[in-house]
Amino acid sequence: MNVVNTVPFNQIDPKVWNKFVDESPEAWLYHRTEWMEIEEVEGYQNESFMVLSDEGSPLGIFCVYLSSRGPWWRLWERYFHTGHCRGGPAMVGGLSAKHREEVFISALDYLKKRAQIYRSDRLEVRLPSLAPAYLPPMRGEINPLGEYGFRAFPMYGRSGVGRLRGNITPTTIVELHGNDEETLFSALSPMCRKAVRKATRAGVTCMEGNGSRDLELFYALYESSYLRSASERRPFTFFCRMSENLAEKGWMKVFLAHHEEKPIASILLLSYKDALTYYAGGVDYDAQLLRPHQLLFWETLRWARQNGWRWYEMGPYFPYLPKDNKMARIGFFKRQFGGREFSLFEGVFFYNWPMYCWGALLEETRLRIYACLHRLRSAD
């Protein structure tokens, strides 16, 4: 069985593509065509493809997108990546080490040619943390990208030169199977257990959302939280598209916490195969002392276990960031729920080191200038 053909995504029957995703131990929701349509809403140019054998059978897929930062950033910032979540390469199950290497090298050769066409400076890859191959018992502890020349560096919380100096980013995943409710609750941090009890005593209730009205309630809380932190947020139309593509298939769930019939916290979960992940959420600032978000996370953990899910990803945290950094605080919150730490498998492959380093220095300079101006304004 030899690698003979690389076929662009738009030439592949979606049913064939999705069947491969369902069966591959290295693929997750972010490889499905329904999710890839959502990535294109972000403005990413879809450069995904499938690698076929001489018999015409699929050997692997690679979800990859082309982005350009602009307008003036386009002078240097043009790169391939695996989406705003985690797609990347996924191989058919049962490949020998030799055939796996052949498929991966074929994919990289194809991308190198595309990089020359677009003058892309690098390829950033994030492997899906919830694909069966990257969870126990199949998971290995060595980043599989390393043997193909990828350099490990953190994808979150830093940019430019800072990424190259940073450590590997871990994610937090709660193991639900084999644990009863009492065990899961005792695994919460003491502070989190106290917060859950406080919210319960205060009369906070949690429920699964249903329909467009509850999606609007989720978004109002999500938007409010992001406006307070001055962070970049996604528009409501993005979540509407997500709901259209995923909700009916059971791959997206919204949960809301209420107090005195008023929604005060929200969570959006993505689910596929045996695992689900926290994607986004928000909380009413005036109700934070009731601790509704801790209770809502706990109730979704209970719901997930009762419905047969095996893994619940809280998401990455950032030990290399200062404690007062927003992303570091979010990471601290996620670690309250008793999850195991797994290193994220991610890396960068450079086509043009000088171009990247020049752009990284510009970005680092820009960030330092903005930080200095912010301190001056704060002092006034």
Q: Is the pLDDT of residue 73 over 90?
A: no
Q: What is the pLDDT of residues 261-308, one digit of tens each?
A: 999 999 999 999 999 999 999 999 999 999 999 999 999 999 999 999
State the sign of the Cα–Cα–Cα–Cα dihedral 214, 218, 219, 224. Answer: positive
Q: Are residues 159 and 217 in the same domain?
A: no
Q: Are residues 43 and 69 in the same domain?
A: yes
Reference 28, options 75, 64, 63, 73; nearest CA is 63
68 backbone dihedrals φ, ψ, rounded to 5°: -130, 135
Q: Are residues 221 and 313 in the same domain?
A: yes
pLDDT given at position 20: 97
Q: Are residues 227 and 356 in the same domain?
A: no
What percent of the chain is modeled with pLDDT above 70?
87
Q: Are residues 72 and 160 in the same domain?
A: yes
Whether the CB-CB separation of 289 and 229 falls below 8 Å is answered with no
Region class of 265: left (phi > 0), else alpha (psi between -120 and 50), else beta: beta
Q: Are residues 240 and 360 in the same domain?
A: no
As for how many domains the chain has, the answer is: 2
148 backbone dihedrals φ, ψ, rounded to 5°: -110, 15
Q: Which two tokens stand for residue 143?
A: 């980043």
Domain-located, residue 101: yes
Q: Are residues 290 and 331 in the same domain?
A: yes
Domain-located, residue 378: no
pLDDT given at position 186: 95
Domain-located, residue 19: yes
Range with the poorest average pLDDT among 6-20, 157-171, 227-241, 285-299: 157-171
pLDDT given at position 332: 81
pTM of the model: 0.89
Domain-located, residue 38: yes
pLDDT given at position 105: 93
Q: Are residues 144 and 263 in the same domain?
A: no
CATH number at residue 118: 3.40.630.30
Say what angle helices 292-306 and 190-201 make with each other, to 10 degrees.
100
Q: What is the pLDDT of residues 164-187, one digit of tens each?
A: 555 678 899 999 998 899 999 999
Range of the domain at 366: 3-167+345-371
Q: Rounded to an integer, what distance in angstroms lies between the CA atom of residue 124 and that of residue 84?
A: 11
Q: Is the pLDDT of residue 213 over 50?
A: yes
The mean pLDDT of 326-331, rounded to a whole number, is 74
Domain-located, residue 380: no
Q: What is the pLDDT of residues 96-146, one digit of tens each?
A: 989 999 999 999 999 999 999 998 888 999 999 999 999 999 999 899 998
pLDDT given at position 257: 97
Burial per residue of 149-184, b for 16 or more beta-carbon CB atoms within 10 angstroms, e otherwise? ebebbbbbbbebbbbeebebbbbbbbbbeebeeeeb
Domain-located, residue 377: no
Helix then strand then coil, % of the chain, to nearest 5: 45, 25, 30
Q: Are residues 112 and 222 in the same domain?
A: no
Q: Which residues contact 34 (CB under 8 A, 6 or more apart)?
A: 245, 246, 249, 251
Q: Are residues 22 and 115 in the same domain?
A: yes
Q: Rounded to an integer, what distance in angstroms lies between the CA atom of residue 25 and that of residue 246?
A: 20
Q: Which residue has the tokens 């499938």?
A: 50
pLDDT given at position 54: 85
Q: Which residues contact 212 (CB under 8 A, 6 or more apart)?
A: 240, 243
373 backbone dihedrals φ, ψ, rounded to 5°: -65, -40
| 3-state SS assignment for residue 222 | helix
Share the mean pLDDT of the chain.
88
Q: Are residues 331 and 360 in the same domain?
A: no
Q: Are residues 336 and 350 in the same domain?
A: no
Domain-located, residue 198: yes
Tell me the H-state helices in the chain: 14-23, 33-41, 97-118, 161-165, 181-187, 190-201, 211-229, 236-246, 292-306, 326-334, 353-379
Q: How far is CA 84 from CA 67, 125, 267, 366, 376, in A?
A: 11, 11, 19, 23, 33
Q: How far is CA 249 from CA 84, 266, 272, 364, in A?
A: 21, 21, 10, 42
Q: Is the pLDDT of residue 234 over 50?
A: yes
| 3-state SS assignment for residue 115 | helix
Q: What is the dihedral of CA 234, 236, 242, 247, to 10 degrees?
A: 140
pLDDT given at position 61: 97
Domain-located, residue 376: no
